[in-house]
Amino acid sequence: MAKWMSVAQVKEKIEESSAEEVTAHYLEVIKKSKINGYIKVSEKALEQAKKIDAEEHDGPLAGVPIAIKDNISVVGLPSSCGSKILEGYAPPFNAHVIEKLLAAGAVILGKTNMDEFAMGSSTETSYFGPTANPWDLERVPGGSSGGSAAVVAAGEAPFSLGSDTGGSVRCPAAFCGVVGLKPTYGAISRYGVVAYANSLEQVGPLANNVRDIAVLMDVIAGYDRRDSTSIDSKTEYQKALVEDVKGLKIGVPKEFFGEGTHPDVEKAVWNAIHKYEDLGATWEEVSMPHIKYALASYYIIAMSEASSNLARFDGTRYGLRENGENWHAMVSKTRAEGFGTEAKRRILLGTYALSAGYHDKYYLKALKVRTLVKQDFDKALSKVDLLMAPTMPNPAFKIGEKIEDPLTLYLSDVNTCPINLAGVPSISVPCGFTDGLPIGLQIIGKPFDEPAVLRAAYTFEQNTDYHTKRPLEVA
């Protein structure tokens, strides 16, 4: 059985043999893994596959295995969020996206590694150790959904779910040479996703090709009454996969090609834009003057929301509990032992930004900047159909290279976090290589215009072969 298969190929194999046999194949591949992509492999995956075979399930994903980021609740599997503080916690309910996947017949392979509480761009802050990039085992896979991207790139799952707060799906997609979509805020329910920064994060799919992204979106997107931010949309994502970009107007924001962008990344992205030009699209340069403030605004907002969300982890109700002579001592010891360095840093900075005397100076100002960034996107997208830019300014860096320098690590998100501030959809597709490492093209659309984003990505994919390349490190 082939190591890398599309969803269509997986379904063919299931028809030829069984869901059980296909699931067993992936479990065997995972067993031989070199990348530390999974925190926990499901012991019930084969049982689930057998049940689908016995019931002759006819759902759109009947028997198709999928990997799930460890901050998405699945009954019967732990949700650690890559942190020690949730040690022993297993959610008693399924996230909305898991309910949808199970109803469609998907088989849950396991929970993937991630930066602690989704705080990071490299999957190095995980309590369970870093995940390795399948293209170079000495390099990071990106983050925070690094495990979800790496297992797809390594052939350990046909597709996966991650979450994207400031680029956490698109960053690892670019670094690992797969496709990753950050949908419009509200397109997918966040019910059952452990919160980092509620106003920014969104569940997003990762796969080896654009069609599989659309297949997954048709299953998991839609309204959920339990999430007040979810939108009732009747979008049919697979219908958008038409190979045609004639007349498409592309905007190229000059601010996304700033100082520090790797020359090979810039060249690959421009080659991609010129490919669109050859296919009948046009492009023009656009300016988004407030983008230079987006990174600072993003981190103030994200850390402030994190300081509030992570306050619930105190050892009282679930997870780790350290003994103390009183409640305050117990909470202090539990948090000191349970949270990693990066989580503590972001909680402290967020608490400081929200504190009396500093709320207006930092948090309120960051919210005002967010509005200006959103207006930049609205203005630019009123003139063009889509925006295109590098996903990441550089290819994957080495494990340990930036982890001791938080500011440099934060700067990695310079091209992805503005999209989360604006709440618009964005996809990363492979568009080239430098020194054997993948480069991602970022395609950004108008709110709830995922069909245009997917159509453009699909057309590019059909006219190039970057998405067909596979890492030799794990072959």
CA distance 454 to 445: 9
Contact 415, 391 (CB under 8 A): yes
- Ranges of beta strands (E only) in 21-139 are 38-41, 65-69, 107-112
Neighbours of 386 (CB within 10 A): 26
Helices 450-462 and 263-278, packing angle to 10 deg? 90
Could you write out the DSSP letters of every residue in 140-167?
Answer: ---SSSHHHHHHHHTTS-SEEEEEESSS
CA distance 466 to 177: 8
For the annotated catalytic residues, the residue numbers are: 69, 144, 168
Query: Minimal CA–CA distance to 251: which of 97, 448, 56, 452?
Result: 452
Query: Minimal CA–CA distance to 159: which of 66, 92, 287, 260?
Result: 66
| 113 SS3 class | coil
CA distance 171 to 140: 11
Largest CA distance in the chain: 71
CA distance 445 to 452: 7
Q: Please name the amino acid found at residue 33.
A: S
Query: Minimal CA–CA distance to 55: which of 107, 109, 6?
Result: 107
Contact 73, 97 (CB under 8 A): no
CA distance 55 to 239: 29
Query: Minimal CA–CA distance to 85: which of 418, 396, 249, 322?
Result: 322
Kind of pairing between the strands at 107-112 and 179-182: unpaired
Contact 392, 440 (CB under 8 A): yes
**φ/ψ (deg, to 5) at 229:** -95, -5
Kind of pairing between the strands at 202-207 and 249-253: unpaired
Q: CB-hemisphere CA count at 13 Å for 45? A: 25
CA geometry: angle 144, 403, 298, nearest 5 deg: 50
Instruction: List, in sequence order, every residue forming a beta bridge with 340; answer none if it has no partner.
Output: none
Kind of pairing between the strands at 65-69 and 107-112: parallel
Could you write out the DSSP letters of every residue in 347-380?
Answer: HHHHHHHHSTTTIIIIIIHHHHHHHHHHHHHHHH
